[in-house]
Structure 1
C-alpha cells in the first residue's frame, strides 16, 4: 500500500511537471504561430487522444446528453486559448496561478467549514497581490488568466454533469472532439497567415503531447494508486511548478512578493483539500486535461 502511494505521488509529480513543461514549450512557439496556432494544434492532439480513449457513441447521444457536452466543448475551446494568451502576456507562473483560482473557488464554495473561510481569506488577498497595479502590469493578460480560471471552474462542474449522464470518458471525448473541430478553421487560418517553421510546429505538437496526452494517461494510472481527494490535493503543486519552469525554461523572473502570493494560493488549496479529505466531504478538483 505504501509503495502504491509513493508510486502514485511520483506519477502525479511527473504529470504536473509534464503539463507545465508542455506549456513552456508552447510559449516557445508563440513568436512564430501565436497562442491561437499553438492552441489549435493542442486541441487537435487532445481530440485525437480522447477520441481513441473514450470511443464515444455519438449517434446514441440524446439532446439531454449533448447539451452539457457542447457546453464543455465551449469551455475547452475558451480555456486553453485564454490561458495560452495570458502566458504570452504575463508569463507562465502568474497565468497558471491565477487560473488555479478556479478550482480553488470550487473547492471552497463546496464547504461551509470555518477553515475554508480562512483559506478564502488567504487566497483572495494573494490573488490581489498578483494582480496589483504596477507600471508594467498587463491587465488584459491578467483578465485572460482570470477568464481561464472561470472556465476551469465551469469545466469541473460540467464534468460532473457529463460524467453523470454518459459512461466512462465518452462525454469528455465527445467534447474534446467538438472543440478540436471548432479549431480546424481557426487553426488553418492562423497557420496560413503565420506559416509555421519545423521547429515551431514541433514545439506545438510537443506541447499537445506533454500538456494533454501525458497528463491524461499518467493521471489514469495515478488514480489507481491514490484516492481522488489526494489527487486533488497534490494538484496544488502546479502553480509552484509553473513558476519554476517559467524561470528555468523561459527566463521569466518573479518578484519575491509574487512568490509569496503563489505559495499562499497553493497553501490554501492544500489546507482546503486536507480538510475535505479529513471530514469526508465529496469535493474533487479535476485536472484541466485538454
Structure 2
C-alpha cells in the first residue's frame, strides 16, 4: 500500500503522528474530503445534461480541458524541468484521469448517478483492503461484493455495459488514489494535478476537435460540461491532492465511502433518480463494509 510520508523542512521524514498535521488536523481533513465529494457529485449531475449533445466522452474531454486551463496558470508546473522520476506518475495519472472519468460518465449515462458511483467506490475500498490479511477484512470484501449484487440485481435485462463502465471507473479511482499520492509526494503544490490534467487534455483533444467540427457543442451542452469540469475536476483534484499529503492513502480510500450516499442524494435532488428499497440496501451494504474496515484502520 502506498502512503504519503510527510516531510519536514529539513528533508527528513516526519513522525507518523503528524500524518494528520497542519491547521485544523483531522476535522479539517474530513471537512475537506466531504466538500470534495459533494462537489464531484454535483458536477457529475450537471455534466449529465450535456450527454444528449456530446455524450459522456465529450463531457470528459471538456472536463479535462477546463481543469488544465484553470490549474496550469495557478500551479505553473515547470514541465521542461521535470525529471523522469516526476514524469512517470504524472503521465500515468493523466491516462487515469481520462479512463476513470470515461468509465464513470458512461456508467452515469446508462445506470444512473447513484449506482455508477457505488460501483466506482469499489476502487477505493479495494485500496483499503489490498494489503489486508485478516478474516474480518476478507469478510468485508465479500459483504461489499454482495452489496453490489443486491444493488444491481443482475439479470437478462441488466445493462452490463453500464456495469462494466462503472467497474472500469472503480479500477481508475484505485489507481488515481495511489498515483495522486505518489505524484503529490514528488511535486509541490498543484503541479502534479495541473500537469496530469494537461496530459489528459492532449489525449482527448482529437475528440474535442471532432465534436467541434460536427457542430455538437450547443450553448447548454458546453455550459453543462464546463460546470462538470469545475465541480468534478478542478475542485476535487485540488482537494484530493492536498488531502493525500495530509492523510494515508488507505484512510482516504476508506473515508470516501460517503461518495455513494452523496451520489444517490444528488441524483435524487438534481436528476430525479429515485432509488428503491433494494438499491438503498445495496448501497448501505457497501458502506457498511467500509465502516467496518475504517474501524480497523490506524490513523
Task: Say yes or no: TM over 0.5.
Answer: yes
Contact residue 36 and residue 190 of structure 1 kept, 8 A: no
Which range moves more in the overlay, 195-204 or 49-58?
A: 49-58
The 2-side partners of 1:230 and 1:53 are apart by 28
Q: CA separation of 1:47/1:274 partners in 2, compared to 1, >3 Å: closer, same or farther? A: farther
Please say if 1:244 is aligned against 2:259. no
Q: Which of 248, 251, 254 is 2:275 aligned to?
A: 254
Q: Which of 91, 109, 112 is 1:91 aligned to?
A: 112
Q: Which residue of 2 aligns with 1:188?
A: 209
Structure 1 residue runs of 4+, over 6 Å off?
220-224
Contact residue 43 and residue 176 of structure 1 kept, 8 A: yes
Q: CA separation of 1:222/1:254 partners in 2, compared to 1, >3 Å: closer, same or farther? A: same
The 2-side partners of 1:11 and 1:130 are apart by 28
Q: Which residue of 2 aligns with 1:13?
A: 34
Instruction: Report the Cα offset of residue 72 of structure 1.
Output: 1.7
Which range moves more in the overlay, 44-53 or 116-125?
A: 44-53
Q: CA separation of 1:10/1:167 partners in 2, compared to 1, >3 Å: closer, same or farther? A: closer
- 1:134 counterpart SS class: coil
The 2-side partners of 1:98 and 1:232 are apart by 14
Please say if 1:119 is aligned against 2:137. no
The 2-side partners of 1:182 and 1:219 are apart by 22
Q: Which residue of 2 aligns with 1:175?
A: 196
The 1-side partners of 2:79 and 2:47 are apart by 31
Q: Which residue of 1 aligns with 2:7?
A: none
Q: CA separation of 1:11/1:161 partners in 2, compared to 1, >3 Å: closer, same or farther? A: closer
Q: Which residue of 2 aligns with 1:61?
A: 82
The 1-side partners of 2:188 and 2:35 are apart by 28
Instruction: Report the Cα offset of residue 54 of structure 1.
Output: 3.4
The 2-side partners of 1:192 and 1:247 are apart by 35
Contact residue 124 and residue 253 of structure 2 kept, 8 A: no
- Report the TM-score, using the length of structure 2 for normalisation: 0.82
Q: Which of 114, 118, 122 is 1:101 aligned to?
A: 122
Q: Which residue of 1 aligns with 2:219?
A: 198
Which range moves more in the overlay, 60-69 or 111-120?
A: 60-69
Instruction: Report the Cα offset of residue 83 of structure 1.
Output: 0.9
Instruction: Report the Cα offset of residue 213 of structure 1.
Output: 2.2
- 1:47 counterpart SS class: helix
Instruction: Report the Cα offset of residue 107 of structure 1.
Output: 0.7
The 2-side partners of 1:93 and 1:128 are apart by 15
- 1:276 counterpart SS class: coil
- 2:99 counterpart SS class: helix
Cα-Cα RMSD: 2.7
Contact residue 232 and residue 273 of structure 1 kept, 8 A: no
The 2-side partners of 1:194 and 1:135 are apart by 37
Offset from partner CA, 1:223-267 (integer Å, 9 cap, x none): 89x855765544211101111111221122223212111111122
Gap runs ≥5 in structure 2 = 1-21
Gap runs ≥5 in structure 1 = 281-290
- Report the TM-score, using the length of structure 1 for normalisation: 0.84
Contact residue 8 and residue 223 of structure 1 kept, 8 A: no
The 1-side partners of 2:243 and 2:203 are apart by 31
Which range moves more in the overlay, 84-93 or 175-184?
A: 175-184
Q: CA separation of 1:69/1:14 partners in 2, compared to 1, >3 Å: closer, same or farther? A: closer
Contact residue 37 and residue 191 of structure 1 kept, 8 A: no
